[in-house]
Amino acid sequence: MPSLVTFGETSAVFVARDLGRMRYCRDFTIRPGGAEATVAVGVHRLGFPTAWMSALGEDEMGHYLRGLVAAEGVDVSRVAMVAGRQTAVFLRERLPGGAARHFYYRRHSAFSEYAPAMLDEGFIAEARILHLTGITPALSASCDAAAWRAVEIARAHGVTVSFDPNVRLNLWGREEARARLARYLAAADIVLPGLEDMQMLYGPIDAEGALSILADLGCGRIVLKAGAGDVHVVEGDSRLTLPVTPVAHPVDLMGAGDAFAAGCLAGLLKGWDLEAAARLAITVAGLAIELPGNIEAMPTWAEVARRTAGTESWNR
């Protein structure tokens, strides 16, 4: 059985090959795009069995995504293929420094109609960690209900709940997002927000303000990513700040937060404390943004070990 189960939508992403305004781009490449599937792949590459629960359209994009994630060794047995519904798609405009803009076409997708009854309670109950993001409840009322039911199942069976707000204000308004995501933050055993997420929800606050809000919500284990600077780790009464050395030449920032989550969750699965897990997360995210793509860029444990040891890899 998987150590980690994730639940959420993955889309087919058409990425512009050229930098600059997408209106002038004529060539695109297709890649997978979904936080939860990316985390599942990332944790699997770091040595743990994982599963991804979702729904895809019974179409070419759906078969492409399911096959790709399965080929990475992730259990996709709880990914429904829905006839008559399309797989979500979005377009990615590439900007300098690895930045990007996204244009979503995911309304009425197969996953948008995912309902609580589609969840496999026994499957979730056997996991050690359930990981969710704030993207899922933003997609539809039924997705919100299913995500919350997954949390209830996990808590009833003693499964650790991990939550990354991953705020997408182009999917819903700030007020709605703040109200509905607050209950997930409060219910989770560990939260992995970015400072930008908290600012989108609560306005122009700094890291101290974000940590105060999370504490008021009852979050006991927090790993707050404060942009390109520091990572703040809170566990009960213990608190520390870990410095982050920016990557000199980032290639692609897509999936950096998911790589961070994968590293942190893999550390916890190894039995490490939250500080050690957060340090691993920083390393994994740094490696991931040195390569293009999200799933494609997730590092292996051997690559992490080489980076932390400061050794080189010779290819000839």
Q: Tell me which residues are annotated as active site.
A: 258
Considering only CA atoms, which of 245, 247, 251, 220 is closest in space to residue 230?
245
The answer to whether the beta carbons of residues 36 and 132 sit under 8 Å apart is: yes
The answer to whether the beta carbons of residues 81 and 57 sit under 8 Å apart is: yes
Q: What does the alpha-carbon distance between residue 264 and residue 271 come to, in Å, rounded to a whole number?
A: 11
The answer to whether the beta carbons of residues 89 and 106 sit under 8 Å apart is: yes
Q: What does the alpha-carbon distance between residue 263 and residue 266 come to, in Å, rounded to a whole number?
A: 5
**Residue 62 burial (10 A CB sphere; 0-12, 13-18, 19+):** buried
Strand duo 11-19 + 190-191: pairing: unpaired
Alpha helical stretches, state H, 14-159? 35-45, 60-71, 121-125, 135-139, 141-156
E-strand stretches of the chain:
4-7, 11-19, 28-33, 50-57, 79-82, 89-94, 100-105, 129-133, 160-164, 190-191, 221-226, 230-235, 238-243
List, in sequence order, every residue forming a beta bridge with 230; answer none if it has no partner: 226, 243
Residue whose token pair is 């599937």: 37
